[in-house]
Amino acid sequence: MRFERITIDASVMGGMPCIRGLRIPVATIVTMIADGMTTPEIVADLPDLTSADVEEALRYAAEAVRERELPLRHAA
């Protein structure tokens, strides 16, 4: 999968994956979604973003999780 809107630059936000070189990390967008914000609300709150940026951030996060195993509490 190719990501056109996600950039990683050591001089921007310590190399965290960000949107289009802006100082808006993918993690910030994912957290906003997790907190119940809609894409239009996120774009209104961060006007440098577009809905396509939000969508790609979510796709990037999904792919990042798919690529690694995270410690989870197992159901009893």
Over residues 15-73, the pLDDT tens digits come to 999 999 999 999 999 999 999 999 999 999 999 999 999 999 999 999 988 867 666 66
Backbone angles phi, psi at 19, to 5 degrees: -90, 120
pTM: 0.85
Q: How far apart are the C-alpha atoms of 26 and 8, rounded to whole Å?
A: 10
- Cα separation values, 54 from 30, 42, 72, Å: 8, 8, 26
Its CATH class, for the domain covering 6-66, is: mainly alpha
Which value, in Å, is the radius of gyration of the alpha carbons in the chain? 13
Record the tokens describing residue 6, joined without a space.
């996600």
